[in-house]
């Protein structure tokens, strides 16, 4: 599936595409163990065509080469687990060499794309007819509370600088701050280089503005640098205090209402119909006639959430890679029905979302590589709709 942006007059670089992706899927949302971002490639290289896939396999890379892509964006990091060599005769090294030889940069957005809004889990929920409400596991971002004083005549310029560094964003509001007039005083020594008054000239008083705002803690040094560079004083009076956490509207998973109530049997059939087809298929555990309205979803492997799900008022949990014992214990403890999908199927729809993100921000052609990288190739036997007893 290929889409061409109509305006290709401006050269686009790998760094431009990375910027678009990281704006939509901020790296700070990634889990501590994750490895997201640019994996290989020159940030200054020109990009005309970006390909998207869930996994960076040999077949996916071959398709990207055939499609003439200069960049490949995937969900699962190729080098998530440590390797000692990327020699061309190793599995991952072979892929890296093939990418570099053909001038293709590789980028990954993984758990940051899971937690972002909109992200992987929003796409999964919407496909299944579930309103993507609150996160299953919210991420509350630590915030700093800042304060500084500045002469009235310089206040606008300094505020603009810290806001440009990412400060003052509260929900859907930007450049948010409190300010009130104060009177400052200082006596420059003979060695000072004062913005107001003269060195050794005695006590000075000045009408100033006290400005207070919040900023993400991860931006502390960036905000500090902006403040010090823009402020006219030789020595800037400011303070930073660790504050409360920000809104928890981002995070892994989603919980929301199904567009219409239906039985587990019917909902499992909908999941199978709306997700990409795999050999794995779709399995459900629980009473097939149980009524489903409130649903929790978690793309990818999600049985670690079963303990939490058991304490929640939800009717069904949709995830992937479920194992026998965790599901059995969940049901024995009175937990809600669960639906198990193929890992690839629950996450592949995100590729279209990511392609739309890039095409909206930069002028490149985009291709979603529809190769099914789910590893399962045979599914045989089994029975249909057996009631859990």
Q: How far apart are CA 123 and CA 319, in angstroms?
A: 13
Domain C-terminal end among 243, 259, 289:
243
Q: Kindly state whether residue 5 falls inside one of the protein's structural domains.
A: no
Q: Kindly state whether residue 306 falls inside one of the protein's structural domains.
A: yes
Q: Residue 317's closest CA among 267, 259, 385? A: 267
Verify that 205 and 267 share a domain, yes or no. Answer: no
Verify that 256 and 134 share a domain, yes or no. Answer: yes
Verify that 127 and 257 share a domain, yes or no. Answer: yes
pLDDT of the residue at 243: 85
pLDDT of the residue at 6: 42
Contact 334, 290 (CB under 8 A): no
Verify that 106 and 21 share a domain, yes or no. Answer: yes
CATH number, domain with residue 150: 3.30.70.120
Q: Kindly state whether residue 156 falls inside one of the protein's structural domains.
A: yes
pLDDT of the residue at 330: 96
pLDDT of the residue at 5: 52
pLDDT of the residue at 172: 80
Q: Kindly state whether residue 322 falls inside one of the protein's structural domains.
A: yes
10-residue block means of pLDDT along the chain (389 residues)? 55 97 95 95 97 98 98 96 90 96 98 96 98 92 94 96 95 92 94 92 94 95 98 96 79 96 98 95 96 97 94 97 96 96 97 97 96 92 61
pLDDT of the residue at 84: 87
pTM: 0.80
Q: Kindly state whether residue 387 falls inside one of the protein's structural domains.
A: no
Residues 6 or more apart in contact with residue 231 via CB below 8 angstroms:
148, 150, 154, 158
Q: How far apart are CA 201 and CA 141, in angstroms?
A: 46
Verify that 260 and 128 share a domain, yes or no. Answer: yes
Q: Kindly state whether residue 287 falls inside one of the protein's structural domains.
A: yes
Q: Kindly state whether residue 374 falls inside one of the protein's structural domains.
A: no
Which residues are known binding-site members? 75-76, 114, 343, 347
Verify that 265 and 227 share a domain, yes or no. Answer: no
Which residues are known binding-site members for a divalent metal cation? 75-76, 114, 343, 347
pLDDT of the residue at 139: 87
- Domain residues for the domain of 328 are 117-138+250-341
pLDDT of the residue at 267: 98
Tokens in use for 269?
């059939």
Q: Residue 239's closest CA among 258, 259, 223, 252? A: 223
Q: Kindly state whether residue 352 falls inside one of the protein's structural domains.
A: yes
């Amino acid at each position: 599936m290929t889409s061409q942006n109509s305006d290709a007059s401006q050269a686009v670089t790998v760094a431009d595409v990375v910027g678009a992706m990281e704006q939509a899927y901020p790296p700070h949302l990634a889990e501590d163990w994750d490895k997201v971002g640019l994996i290989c490639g020159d940030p200054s290289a020109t990009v005309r065509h970006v390909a998207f896939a869930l996994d960076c396999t040999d077949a996916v890379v071959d398709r990207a080469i055939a499609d003439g892509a200069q960049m490949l964006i995937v969900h699962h990091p190729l080098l998530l687990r440590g390797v000692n060599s990327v020699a061309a005769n190793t599995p991952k090294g072979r892929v890296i060499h093939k990418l570099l030889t053909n001038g293709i940069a590789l980028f990954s957005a993984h758990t940051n794309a899971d937690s972002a809004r909109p992200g992987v889990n929003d796409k999964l929920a919407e496909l299944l007819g579930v309103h993507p409400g609150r996160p299953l596991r919210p991420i509350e971002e630590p915030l700093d509370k800042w304060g500084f004083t500045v002469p009235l005549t310089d206040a606008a310029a300094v505020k603009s600088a810290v806001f440009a560094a990412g400060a003052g964003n509260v929900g859907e509001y930007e450049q948010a701050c409190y300010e009130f007039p104060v009177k400052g005083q200082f006596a420059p020594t003979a060695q000072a280089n004062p913005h107001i008054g003269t060195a050794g000239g005695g006590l000075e008083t000045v009408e100033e503005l006290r400005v207070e705002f919040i900023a993400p803690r991860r931006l502390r040094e960036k905000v500090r640098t902006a403040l010090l560079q823009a402020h006219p004083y030789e020595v800037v009076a400011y303070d930073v205090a660790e504050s409360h956490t920000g809104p928890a509207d981002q995070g892994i998973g989603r919980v929301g209402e199904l567009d219409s109530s239906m039985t587990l049997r019917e909902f499992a059939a909908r999941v199978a119909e709306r997700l990409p087809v795999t050999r794995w298929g779709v399995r459900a555990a629980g009473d097939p006639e149980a009524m489903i309205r409130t649903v929790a979803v978690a793309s990818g492997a999600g049985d670690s959430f079963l303990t939490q799900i058991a304490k929640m008022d939800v009717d069904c949990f949709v995830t992937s890679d479920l194992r026998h014992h965790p599901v059995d214990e969940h049901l024995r403890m009175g937990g809600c029905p669960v639906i198990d999908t193929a890992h690839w199927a629950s996450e592949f729809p995100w590729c279209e979302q990511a392609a739309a993100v890039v095409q909206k921000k930069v002028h490149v052609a985009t291709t979603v590589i529809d190769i099914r990288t789910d590893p399962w190739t045979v599914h045989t036997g089994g029975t249909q709709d057996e009631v859990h007893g």
